Structure 1
Amino acid sequence: MTASVSASLSSGEVRGTRRPDGTLAFLGIPYAQAPTGALRFAEPAPVEPWDGVRDATAYGPTPQRGDYGDTLIPEPSIPGDDTLSVNVFAPDSPAEPGGAQRPVLVYIHGGAFVQGSPASPWYDGGSFARAGIVVVTVSYRLGFDGFGLLPGAPTNRAVRDWIAALEWVRANVSAFGGDPDDVTIAGQSAGGGAVLTLLGMPDAQHLFRRVLAISAALTNVPPARAATATGRLAARLGIAPTREAFAGVDELTVLTAQQALESERHGNIIASVRSRLAEGLTWGPVVDGELIPRPTLDALAAGVGADKTLVLGTTDDEFTMITDGVAGPLRFVPPALALAALGVGHAMRWRYIRDNRAQRRLGTAAFLGRYATDRIFRDTVPLVARTRSGSPTWAYRFSWPSPTKRWALHCLDVPFWWGVLDADGVARLAGPHPPKELADAMHGAAVSFVRTGDPGWPRWTPDERATRMFGAAPSVPTVAADGYASVRALTG
């Protein structure tokens, strides 16, 4: 049985739910006004105060629209305009001894910056709340509405949404027992790229202390490419590439055109891999010279975010599954020839083959899938760790293979980090009996990092490159001396 509970915010009072597991949930709280009408392509506007008590017992509308089918993570779309909202999960118990406020975890969901939903059951913060942490999950504008480059409109509207949500946390999280000066930002996939982007942004440094980047798809879109993408979308819609013209086209029509262009761009599986490796994501954070002054790696090398603690890592085969469908046609194609077709130079090609002999023995399709995984996700780990030099950084790898999908694939690790193995959709990826010991180890590491700034294994250093291995023997802590040696050919 559940009961209601209220909290007083800067904009008014909200009513949430007291849950039987000893946690509180406040859902769909707006941190900015609905991005519609004149606000559609504007910066997030502050919430207008309300009278009375606002209901916060159900997830709010999502920027994701429609049914995206069989996604790896269950991601419901919820209709409505008030899409810029947060969900808060908090302990239903007194604060720490002495009245200390609780650490805060702010989570930004993934979905290639074009989809994803904070209403996923995999992002329920109950397990973290039971460990004494206040959790905030964030909704933000997606695709063209969030990232399209438009003359007369602010750049990086979705990034501005992240910042507005973090400013909301700073102003309001104490109402839920959270400490606004003890914030960890976390995200997976595009969300992992989002938190690395924030780590490299000078204007965001006051908003968090720690970063947990899970399978980060780090995206820095050059302005010229963003402008070209906007032009293509406008041409598809038959309009001028201006703010006024796009404002006259409803959101769903823009989304349909956006999806059609992506389908044309990718084509078959091999063409999709080649396109993704060559160009990256179409929509994502734009290096605009203002909000994002320079690419993230350059910013980190210049010392931005050096005082922040960082944990980052990936699964072993994030995207290897995408080439399973062409295993037959590729079975007689030598790996070197396949890499050459993707534009990999001779020296790098043979060095990469040498460093990945075990994967090569699994066939050319599996080898190409691992290469795509490494280029999109795994090479980010040593690149970022090396760039941060002496800053406190920890690396991990998730190598437990899915019993239903064969690989330690993209998104499989998410319910382990969140401690939600019984959530809807987990069994489809993790099987009916996922290892609880592994979830305890990973969720425990995340809790430790949020609470203390230390996940519980040695830091990455230029000499040691310590990497925590979460995998086949979950109850035995394993630290590899250089867990990302196999991507060295890609990182120099």
Structure 2
Amino acid sequence: MTSTPSTAERPAPEPDEQPLVHTAAGTVRGRHLGPHQTAFLGIPYGEAPTEDLRFERPVPHAPWRGVRDATQYGATPLRDFMTGITLIPEPAYPGDETLTVNVFTPRTRRDGGLPVLVWIHGGGFTSGSPASPWYETGSFPRDGVVVVTMSYRLGLDGFGVIDGAPGNRAVHDWMLALDWVQQNIAAFGGDPSRVTIGGQSAGGTAVLTLLSMPAAQHLFSRAIVESPGASTGERSDVARSTAEVATLLRIAATRDDFASVPEHDVFEAQTRAQKHDMRLAWLRRLMRGGSSMQWTPVIDGDLVPYSVAEGLARGIGSDKPLLIGANANETDAMLLESSAALDLLPRALALRIVGLGRIRRQYGELTPGRTRRMLGATASDAVFRLTTARALAAKTGRAYAYDFRLASSHNALTGHCMELPFVWDCLDGENVEASTGTNRPQSLADEMHGEWVRFIADGTVSWPAYEVSGGRTGRIFDSEPRTQKIFDREQRIVALEKGAE
């Protein structure tokens, strides 16, 4: 499930009227993009993270004189030599000013402040782009929502634990971008008191991190989390990965030494240091407490004082409604595509090999299927579904849960990223069929997109809030959507985990 992003052609401005908006740093010129929206692209919220600023906290962008062109996407931290990890089309643009936002606002302005969706892209924190054509189709602006997509530093530059450099630099990027939204979104027709942060995969992890951070609470009012990857990593693990990259580059893991190495060389070294083999060894590392991602936010006792689970359990973010869910078979295919000989391995032995621990008997009882199918479910659990269940178990305040189960016509599975074309109502978008196949009913997109718009507007959906100790009711999105008990199996596993501690 990979695609390789490439440097895309920049769209040409339309010859007709080009609207102007006055931001705190200066005036920007946008362009009308289709019948429903006006786009302001590549607006820098931070100075270029190069030279002395490369491993520093982001610095707000200096004001400019005159009118800044915002009709083309700005530079992205994603470079054309990086390999994407999702089915989402994610173009790369060259340049130094990589800390930017893209704003899509309804073409026809409406009275009053509009609700705002700030979207944080996924990509395992090593890939991904805020400039995906899926995000610019205009479905949310068509329905009265201002959309902001943000970029942030990736990989070692954003997350590495480097001697002499501040940590969690990408988290600081998110914070500065959200602060930019608070200061400027009213000029684009948005209401700064009605900001929803949303993200998928690593972007979902970013949203959970912000939701559980005391310092971020004033920057948004609700949160959407789709298929969150395993949450906040251990500082020691990320420090170990940083040291390994330094060793491969034959430098010390210091700010000065890393700053002397071109980003292409750093990327190649961190790719060589990647520990995921996506098979049994990968599962074993996950089941023993390792992260699914090499680079993640880490607990630093300051900006990120707690893990996601602890922060939510402490009541941080309790006043903010949460919409969260996952797909039925996020990464099952990785194991199902393994050799059929894996099915000859006894299920109990397979669970022992992957290091499930003292709950492996109960886990096996809750996870049917032959060995490959069981381990496929185990992979999806380890990275996404149990992360979702743990967040629901820890969250205080209102939370709504969904379970996306529409099967692709390619393999009868509901894989990673499959829900996105339905949420963004872009079923005819680039590369969508590669994920969904021919099974992509518009009626399901109408419902899902409509529920997301409703949540962004007022923090509610049409089904009841999720209660871990109660009915565990949520919405299943399938060919025939329905409201019923969901994530019950996963909550039982989470309870078993707690009992085994």
Provide the TM-score with structure 2 as the length reference.
Answer: 0.92
* Aligned-residue identity in percent: 44
Asked whether the equivalents of residues 147 and 283 of structure 1 are also in contact (C-alpha less than 8 Å), the reply is: yes
Distance in 1 (CA, whole Å) between partners of 2:360 and 2:190 is: 50
Task: Determine whether 1:439 maps to 2:445.
Answer: yes
Which residue, out of 205, 212, 230, partners 2:217? 205
Q: Larger deviation: 238-247 or 336-345?
A: 336-345
Which among 148, 153, 158 is matched to residue 141 of structure 1? 153
Equivalence for 1:217 = 229
Write out aligned runs for 1:459-470 (5 A).
Answer: 459-461=465-467, 462-470=469-477
3-state DSSP class of the match of 1:266?
coil
Cα separation, 2, equivalents of 1:459 and 1:143: 36
Q: Distance in 1 between matches of 2:134 and 2:299?
A: 31
Cα–Cα, structure 1 residues 69 and 233, in superposed 2: closer, same or farther, change >3 Å?
closer
Aligned to 1:60: 74
- The answer as to whether partners of 1:379 and 1:491 remain within 8 angstroms in 2 is no
Give 1:71 shift. 3.8
Q: Which amino acid aligns with 2:360?
A: R
Structure 1 equivalent of residue 364 of structure 2: 353
1:449 corresponds to which residue? Answer: 455
- The question of 1:93 aligning with 2:108 is answered yes
Q: 1:186 to 1:385 in 2, by over 3 A?
A: same
What is aligned with 2:432?
426
1:219 Cα deviation from its structure 2 partner = 2.3
- Where does 1:54-203 land on structure 2 (aligned, <5 Å)? 54-65=68-79, 66-68=81-83, 71-96=86-111, 100-124=112-136, 126-203=138-215
Secondary structure of 2:273 counterpart: helix
Instruction: Report if the CA contact (8 A) 1:378-1:487 is conserved.
Output: no
The structure-2 alpha-carbon separation of the partners of 1:74 and 1:185, relative to structure 1 and needing over 3 Å to count, comes to same
Which residue number corresponds to residue 402 of structure 2? 396
Secondary structure at 2:116 match in 1: strand
Give the SS at the match of 1:379. Answer: helix
* Shift in alpha-carbon separation, 1:383–1:267, aligned structure 2, 3 A: closer
1:272 matched to 2:282: yes
**1:142/1:448 Cα in 2 relative to 1: closer, same or farther (>3 Å)?**
same
Measure how far apart 1:80 and its partner are: 1.0
Give me the whole-angstrom Cα distance separating, in 2, the residues matched to 1:443 and 1:51.
39
Partners of 1:187 and 1:351 in 2: CA distance: 32
Residue pair 1:192, 1:218 contacting (<8 A) in 2 also: no
Could you say which residue in structure 2 is the equivalent of 1:484? Answer: 488
Report the CA distance between 1:410 and its aligned residue.
Answer: 0.4
TM-superposed deviation, 1:456: 1.4
C-alpha separation in 2, matches of 1:482 and 1:19: 39
Q: CA deviation at 1:300?
A: 1.0
1:467–1:482 contact (8 Å) kept in structure 2: yes
2:11 corresponds to:
none
In 2 relative to 1, CA 204–299 (structure 1 residues): closer, same or farther, beyond 3 Å?
A: same
Residues of 2 paired with 1:456 and 1:88: CA distance? 28
Per-residue CA deviation, residues 379-435 of structure 1 (Å, 9 max, x unaligned), is 12232222224x001111000111124310000111111111111010111124511
Q: Would the alpha carbon gap of residues 306 and 149 (structure 1) be closer, same or farther in structure 2, given more than 3 Å must change?
A: same
Hey, what does 2:6 align to over in structure 1?
none
Q: Distance in 1 between matches of 2:486 and 2:480?
A: 18
State the 1:293 CA deviation. Answer: 0.6
SS of the residue 1:377 aligns to: helix
Cα distance in 2 for partners of 1:411, 1:245 equals 37
Report whether the alignment pairs 1:32 with 2:42.
no
Contact 2:402–2:486 (Cα < 8 Å) also in 1: no
2:396 corresponds to 1:381: no
* Further displaced range: 64-73 or 47-56: 64-73
Which string of whole-angstrom CA distances, capped at 9 and with x for unpartnered residues, describes residues 278-327 of structure 1?
Answer: 42122110101111011111111111111110010100110001112214
Identify the match of residue 416 of structure 1 among 397, 415, 422: 422
CA offsets, 1:113-157, max 9 Å, x none? 111111111222610001000000010000000001112211100
Question: In structure 1, how many angstroms separate the alpha carbons of the residues matched to 2:22 and 2:116?
Answer: 18
Q: SS in structure 1 opposite 2:40?
A: strand
CA shift, 1:75, in A, is 1.3
Alignment match, 2:379: 372
Distance 1:486 1:297 in 2: 15
Shift of residue 215 of structure 1? 0.3
The separation in 2 between residues aligned to 1:147 and 1:483, in whole angstroms, is 31
Gaps of 5+ in 1: none
**1:271 Cα deviation from its structure 2 partner:** 2.2
Alpha-carbon distance in structure 1 between the residues aligned to 2:249 and 2:410 = 41
| Counterpart contact for 1:2–1:17, Cα < 8 Å | no
Mapped partners of 2:123, 2:278: distance in 1: 20
1:69 CA displacement: 6.0
Q: How far 1:485 sits from its partner (Å)?
A: 2.2
Q: Structure 1 residues 220, 39: CA separation in 2 closer, same or farther (over 3 Å shift)?
A: same
User: How far apart are residue 70 of structure 1 and its match?
Assistant: 7.4
1:16 aligns with 2:30: yes
Q: 1:229 aligns with which of 241, 244, 247?
A: 241
Residue 57 (structure 2) aligned to one of 39, 43, 49: 43
Contact residue 403 and residue 486 of structure 2 kept, 8 A: no
CA distance in 2, matches of 1:121, 1:367: 35
SS of 2:338 mapped into structure 1: helix
Measured in 2, the distance between the counterparts of 1:459 and 1:24 equals 35
Determine if contact 1:2/1:18 at 8 Å carries over to the other structure: no
- Per the TM alignment, residue 185 of structure 1 is displaced from its structure 2 partner at its CA by 0.2
1:224 deviation in Å?
1.9
Q: RMSD in angstroms over aligned alpha carbons? A: 1.6
1:367 Cα deviation after fit: 1.4
* Contact preservation (8 Å) 1:109, 1:117: yes
| Secondary structure of 2:492's aligned partner | helix
The answer to which of 181-190 and 414-423 deviates more is: 414-423
Which string of whole-angstrom CA distances, capped at 9 and with x for unpartnered residues, describes residues 332-363 of structure 1? 122222111101235x2221222223xx1xx3
Query: Contact (CA 8 Å) 1:31, 1:168: kept in 2 or not?
Result: yes
- Is the CA contact 2:146–2:190 (under 8 Å) kept in the aligned structure 1? yes
Superimposed CA distance per residue, residues 78-126 of structure 1 (whole angstroms, 9 cap, x where no aligned partner)? 1111110011111012323xxx200000000001111111111122261
Q: 1:49 offset after TM fit, Å?
A: 1.1
Q: In structure 1, how many angstroms separate the alpha carbons of the residues matched to 2:66 and 2:268?
A: 39
Q: Secondary structure at the match of 2:216?
A: helix
